[in-house]
Amino acid sequence: MTPFIRQAAPPSIKNIVIIIALVIFAPLLAIGVSQLMFVYTRASGTKANIIVDAQTVLEPITTTFYHAFAQGGEEANDMIAPIASETKALSPRLIRIDHIYDHFDVVSGSSGNLSYNFDKLDQIVNTILATGAKPLLSLSFMPSVIAKDGSIINQPNNWDDWAAVVKRTIEHYSGKGEKNISGMYYEVWNEPDLDQFGKWKLSGDKNYITLYRYASQGANAASNVNGFSLGGPSTTGLYKNWIIALANAGVRIDFFSWHTYLADPKRYMTDQHNLASWLIPFPKLSLKPTLITEFGFTGAKNTLYGTTFGAAHTAAVIRQLISGGPTYLFSFELIDGPNQEDGSGWGLFTHSTNGKKAKPRYSIYSFIDVMRGNRLQLTGEGSWVTAFATKRDNVMRIFLVNFDAKGSHSETVPVTVSGLPNGSYVYKERFLFGRSIQSDETVTNGVLTKQVYMQVQSMAILEISAK
C-alpha cells in the first residue's frame, strides 16, 4: 500500500483557511469567554465597599412591615398559647393562621342548613389579640360537611354553602355586635396550587377563581361589620397567570398575597417589581396592598432554620424589602410542631415538648427595629454583604448583613461615611450574637472610614453620633 504523503499547502490557501476559521470560530470563542467570565463572577462574587453619604437623605423608613408572622396548622389547637408572652415581645402587627375550618370544628349541619360554633377558633384568635396583633384568617379548608366526597381540599357540593360559610365567618369576627375586630384580613385558601391543598386550577370544575368569586359574594353580603380586607391567591409563589386571572375576574380584591420560599434574598424585590408591571393594565388594582403571607429560604423542613443561617436569610430579605417592599412580610412560623427534636422545624421556637427554646431568628426583629428613621444614600453593596443606612435623632446607623447561601463566605468590609461635619464622634459597632465595641473618632476632612470584619451569616449595626 502506498503511504499517504502530506504536502504543504501554498501560503495563499493557508491565509484563506485562517481567515475562514477566524470568521467562524471567533464569535464562538467570544461567547465562551464571556460565559466563562460570567461563571467566574458568579462563583467569586463581588465584595462590598460600603459608602454612605450623610448629606443625602432619602425616604423615611418604618420598621413595621416585617412584624407579621404565620402559624401553620401542625396541631389542631391553639399552638400560639404556649409562646404568647414571647410573641407579644415581638410587637406583632398581624398573625396569620390557616386550617381554620378543619382544625377548629366551626361548621356542622348539612347543605342549606348549616350551624356554626366558633368557640375553638375563638381561643386562638383571642390569643392573637392578646399579643397585640390582629388576625389574618386563611379561609381554609373546605368544611367537610359541604365538601365534595367530604374531602377538605375539594370544592363544595353547593357553591352557595361556601359563600354562606365565608359570610358567617366575617360577621362573627368583624361584626360590630360580635367579636368587633376592625381591620381584619381574610385570605381565600392556603396554597391552592399545591397538591396536598387541592391542586386548584384556573379553569375547570376545581377553579380557584370560582372559589374566590363565591368567597367574595359571601364577604360582600356580610352585614353590620367593621372594615375588613379580602384577598389572595396565597399561592406557593408569585405566579403571573394566577395574578392576572384574579385581576380579570371582576371580584372584590383588597390585597394580593403569595408565599415565597427562596434562598436568594434579591428575588423578593424582583417579585415586587414583576407584580407592579403585571398590574399596569389594572390601575384600580395596582396600588392594592401586597402581602407575602409566608416566607423562608426553603419550604422543606431544614435544621438550618434553627441556626444563624436562618437568621441571616431573614435579615437579608428584610434589607431587600426595606424600601418599596410589601405591606407585610410574614415569617413562617412562630413555633414548631411536635416530634421535631432534630431541630428541623420552621418555627422561631421549638415545640413545648422540645424545650420551647428561642432560635436565632427570634432576635432579628427587635435588632433591626432600631434602624427606623430617614434613609441615607448608600452604595457599594456586594454579592454577600448588603446594607442600608438611616439617621434618627442625630444618630446615624448602618445595618450590615453577610448572608451566604453556601455558608462559607466571610469578608472585611470597608465602610466610608462622607459628608460629616468635622469634629469628635462616638463610634459603636454591635453584632447580633457577637462582639460590641465603642471608640472615639475625630473627623477632619468630612470622612470617617472603618474596616468591619463580617463573619459568614453575621449581622451588625454601626452607630455614629457627635460627642
pLDDT digits (tens, 9 = 90+) for 55-107: 999 999 989 999 999 999 999 999 999 999 999 999 999 999 999 999 999 99
Per DSSP, helices labelled H in 117-203 are 119-130, 159-174
- Number of helices followed by number of strands (H, E) in the chain: 9, 19
Instruction: Tell me the mean pLDDT in the region 427-434.
Output: 97
What mean pLDDT comes out for the span 322-335?
A: 97
Find all residues with CB under 8 Å of 262, minimum gap 6, and list them: 268, 297
> If you average pLDDT over residues 229-240, what whole number do you get?
98
Q: What percent of the chain has pLDDT over 90?
A: 90
Residue 163 backbone class (left: φ over 0; alpha: ψ -120 to 50; beta: rest): alpha
- Between CA 263 and CA 404 the distance in angstroms is 9
Provide the mean pLDDT of the chain: 92
The cell numbers describing 286, all together, are 395596582
Whether 449 has a pLDDT exceeding 90, the answer reads yes
CATH number assigned to the domain covering 68-369: 3.20.20.80
Which residues lie below 8 Å from residue 310, measured CB to CB, with a gap of 6+? Answer: 296, 297, 304, 359, 360, 361
Cα–Cα distance, 57 to 374 (Å, whole number) = 7
The residue length of the chain stands at: 467
Indicate if the pLDDT at residue 33 is higher than 70: no
For residues 74 and 40, what is the distance between their CA atoms, to the nearest angstrom? Answer: 43
Buried-exposed string 282-311: b where 16+ CB fall within 10 A, e elsewhere: eeebeebebbbbbbbbebeebebbbbbbbb
> Helix/strand/coil (H, E, C) string of 7-55?
CCCCHHHHHHHHHHHHHHHHHHHHHHHHHHHHHHHHHHCCCCCEEEEEE
Buried b (16+ CB within 10 A) or exposed e, 19-48: eeeeeeeeeeeeeeeeeeeeeeeeeeeebb
Reported as a single tens digit per residue, the pLDDT across 272-289 is 999 999 999 999 999 999
Residue 37 reports pLDDT greater than 50:
no
In this prediction, residue 42 has a pLDDT band, given cuts at 50, 70 and 90, of very low
- Helices 308-321/266-278 angle, 10° precision: 40
Could you read off the pLDDT of 345-356 as tens digits, one per residue?
A: 999 999 999 999
What grid cell was written down for 39? 461563571
Grid coordinates standing for 136? 389574618
Beta strands in 166-254 (DSSP E): 184-188, 228-235
What is the band of 19 on the pLDDT scale with cuts at 50, 70, 90?
very low
Q: Where are the domains of the chain?
A: 47-61+373-466, 68-369
Cα 300 → chain centroid: 15
244, with CB counted inside 10 A (0-12, 13-18, 19+), is middle
DSSP assignment, residue 424?
Answer: E
Alpha carbon dihedral 362, 104, 169, 187, in 10-degree steps, equals 40
* pLDDT above 50 for 432: yes
Task: Report the candidate in 415, 424, 389 with the shortest Cα–Cα distance to residue 54.
Answer: 389
For residue 251, pLDDT over 80 is answered with yes
- As assigned by CATH, the class of the 47-61+373-466 domain is mainly beta
Average pLDDT over residues 399-406: 98
Is residue 152 predicted with pLDDT exceeding 70?
yes
Residue type present at position 346: W
CA quadruple 153, 165, 96, 228: dihedral sign: positive
Q: Which three cell numbers stand for residue 242?
A: 394566577
C-alpha cell at 305: 432554620
Say whether pLDDT at 120 is over 60: yes
Show the beta-strand stretches assigned E in 153-273.
184-188, 228-235, 255-261
Please, which pLDDT band fits residue 44 given cuts at 50, 70 and 90?
confident
**pLDDT higher than 90, residue 13:** no
**What average pLDDT does this structure show over 162-182?**
98
Q: Does residue 344 contact residue 359 with C-beta atoms inside 8 Å?
A: no
Q: How confident is the model at residue 43 (pLDDT cuts 50, 70, 90)?
A: low
238: CB partners within 8 A, 6+ apart: 258, 260, 271, 274, 275
**Nearest CA-CA partner of 380 in 428, 418, 407:** 418
* Longest CA span, the chain: 108
Encoded amino acid at 115, one letter: S
